[in-house]
């Protein structure tokens, strides 16, 4: 699907979708339990993949109150809560291959879950997912005594995993994906021996592990980040490793877990307000309650660029006003998903926007560093790309409507739509349907705010 976006003024209130990161973890945590309800989940292509995996392991996921429905029958459309019948810590051997579609989070978290099964599990995904690195997690599981292999011997899916995993101590790099750590912690809690994770490199994207630690605590599971001396830390930042005792039980308070709003998605709404809110009319965003999400840093970034932002944390509401933006320097080592939004804002801002510590952002659904540089240049922006730095030269940019490619990546699509709000004329964003991964109603929400957008089914 193509989306045709024309410069327009925005006004009104939008609600952030639920967090994709929390929904993935909550669905799998509920699967590890003997049953739980996940309230306010994000229903998207990625989270459906995790729900299918829970079902494949012997659990079930259905809209709360929908007797007998399965994921395949309902697809959960419009569900305010999902009832999960869990497999109580011991996944069964799936009857078929687990298809993780385009969801890297699903594949990594489910790979470790598969290691608990007393038998063999095969996992695969689409073309994009089959090109993403899984090697460090496979190596870690193999070191723990599990068969964990890439069928092509290249560290990429399809994967074959055969357990059961008993636990133990393992070393893993922290600078490729924090999801490897999350996968080991979640699975380690239900092993007999527990798991000790030693990091061989500094941990990047530490806030995502903080999300995991916060959610595990809400499910009654203990997991502790430790320093080089083995002393406990308050959070994942600076951790030398993690300790999770075995034999634990997943059980949220009163059997229910509520998913918070998603700050990765809020970044597009916030960015859109900063570049296109109607003069004198703040754009309001609901669902922005504080949590462990590192991507809440986007609030400070937009403020530093010069847009007035008022965040009522207690009410969970952000108001942002349009402003003349100025370039800033941002380190995205802990917040990789913010790079596309910051790059789009940099194309609108005066001066240079320098996005540092971003090499790991190249290993997402696409190489997001190159994708944003190349697609923004089609709109008239000037960008300089280095291995670990993306610089947008706003003072040399003159944005004009063009046809850009979303690269089959939800975050690229939404970031380019934000940039299009400041471009002269109409911008066509190809592959717009990929917003279904994390913000299925993105274009509907933007249209309600006043974005001039037309969509068609023309193939990219």
Question: Is 178 annotated as belonging to a binding site?
Answer: yes
Q: Is 19 annotated as a binding residue?
A: no
Is 177 one of the annotated binding-site residues?
yes
Alpha carbon distance 163, 155 (integer Å): 18
Residue 199 CA to its chain's centroid (Å):
22
CA 9 to chain centre: 28
- Give Cα separations from 226 to 133, 231, 237, 243, 444 (angstroms): 26, 5, 10, 7, 44
- Scored b (16 or more CB within 10 A) or e, 7-45 reads bbbbbeebbbbbbbbbbbbbbbbbbbbbbbbbbbbbbbb
Q: Which of 2, 295, 337, 436 is catalytic?
A: 337
Judge contact between 434 and 408, C-beta under 8 A: yes
| Interhelix angle 45-56/104-114, nearest 10 degrees | 10
Q: Is 368 annotated as a binding residue?
A: yes
Tokens 């309600």 correspond to: 448
- Is 370 annotated to bind a ligand? Reply is no
State yes or no: cis peptide before 52, omega within 30 of 0.
no
Record the tokens describing residue 201, joined without a space. Answer: 């490199």
Q: Is 411 annotated as a binding residue?
A: yes
Q: Annotated binding residue at 80?
A: no
Residue 344 CA to residue 45 CA, distance in Å, equals: 25
Answer yes or no: is 108 a known binding residue: no
Nearest-5° Cα angle at 386, 380 to 390: 50
179 assigned binding-site residue: yes
List C-alpha distances in Å: 250 to 84, 189, 378, 456: 12, 9, 49, 45
289 appears as a binding residue in the annotation? no
Contact in structure between 431 and 406 (CB atoms under 8 Å): yes
Please indicate if the annotation marks 132 as binding a ligand: yes
Residue 362 annotated as binding site: no
**What helix, strand, coil percent values describe the chain, rounded to 5?**
35, 25, 40
304 is in an annotated binding site: no
Question: Which distant-in-sequence residues (6+ apart) come within 8 Å of 36 by Cβ?
Answer: 29, 30, 84, 86, 219, 250, 251, 252, 255, 256, 257
Residue 367 annotated in active site: no
Nearby residues of 84 by Cβ (< 8 Å), 6 or more positions away? 27, 30, 31, 33, 35, 36, 37, 38, 54, 59, 60, 61
Binding residues for 3-phosphoshikimate: 20-21, 25, 177-179, 205, 337, 364
Binding residues: 20-21, 25, 104, 132, 177-179, 205, 337, 364, 368, 411
Binding residues for phosphoenolpyruvate: 20, 104, 132, 179, 368, 411
Active site residues: 337
């Amino acid at each position: 699907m193509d989306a045709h976006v024309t410069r327009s003024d925005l006004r009104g209130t939008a609600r952030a979708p639920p967090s994709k990161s929390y929904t993935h973890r909550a669905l799998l945590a509920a699967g590890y339990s003997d049953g739980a309800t996940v309230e306010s989940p994000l229903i998207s292509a990625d989270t459906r993949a995790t729900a299918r995996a829970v079902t494949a392991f012997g659990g079930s996921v259905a809209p709360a109150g929908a007797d007998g429905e399965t994921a395949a029958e309902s697809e959960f459309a419009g569900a305010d809560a999902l009832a999960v019948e869990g497999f109580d810590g011991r996944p069964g051997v799936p009857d078929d291959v687990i298809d993780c579609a385009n969801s890297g989070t699903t594949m990594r978290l489910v790979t470790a879950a598969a290691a608990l099964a007393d038998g063999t599990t095969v996992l695969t995904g689409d073309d994009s997912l089959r090109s993403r690195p899984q090697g460090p997690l496979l190596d870690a599981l193999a070191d723990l005594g599990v068969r964990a292999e890439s069928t092509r011997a290249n560290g990429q899916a399809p994967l074959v995993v055969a357990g059961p995993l008993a636990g133990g101590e393992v070393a893993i790099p922290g600078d490729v994906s924090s999801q490897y750590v999350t996968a080991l912690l979640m699975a380690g809690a239900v092993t007999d021996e527990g798991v000790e994770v030693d990091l061989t490199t500094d941990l990047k994207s530490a806030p995502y592990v903080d999300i995991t630690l916060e959610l595990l605590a809400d499910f009654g599971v203990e997991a502790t980040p430790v320093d080089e001396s083995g002393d406990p830390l308050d959070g994942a930042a600076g951790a030398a490793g993690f300790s999770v005792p075995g034999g634990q039980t997943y059980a949220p308070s009163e059997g229910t877990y509520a998913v918070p709003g998603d700050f990765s998605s809020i970044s597009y709404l916030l960015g859109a307000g900063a570049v296109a809110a109607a003069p004198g009319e703040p754009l309001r965003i609901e669902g922005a309650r504080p949590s462990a999400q590192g991507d809440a840093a986007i609030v400070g970034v937009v403020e530093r660029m010069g847009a007035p932002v008022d965040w009522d944390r207690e009410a969970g509401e952000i108001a942002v006003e349009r402003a003349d933006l100025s370039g800033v320097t941002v380190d995205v080592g802990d917040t990789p998903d913010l790079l596309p939004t910051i790059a789009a804002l940099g194309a609108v801002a005066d001066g240079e926007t320098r996005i540092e510590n971003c090499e790991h952002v190249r290993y997402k659904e696409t190489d997001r560093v190159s994708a944003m540089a190349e697609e923004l240049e089609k709109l008239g922006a000037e960008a300089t790309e280095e291995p670990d730095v993306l610089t947008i030269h706003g003072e040399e940019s003159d944005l004009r409507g063009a046809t850009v490619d979303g690269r089959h990546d939800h975050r690229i699509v939404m970031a380019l739509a934000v940039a299009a709000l400041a471009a002269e004329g109409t911008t066509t964003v190809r592959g717009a349907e990929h917003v279904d991964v994390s913000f299925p109603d993105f274009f509907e929400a933007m249209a309600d705010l006043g974005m001039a957008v037309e969509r068609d089914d023309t193939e990219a």
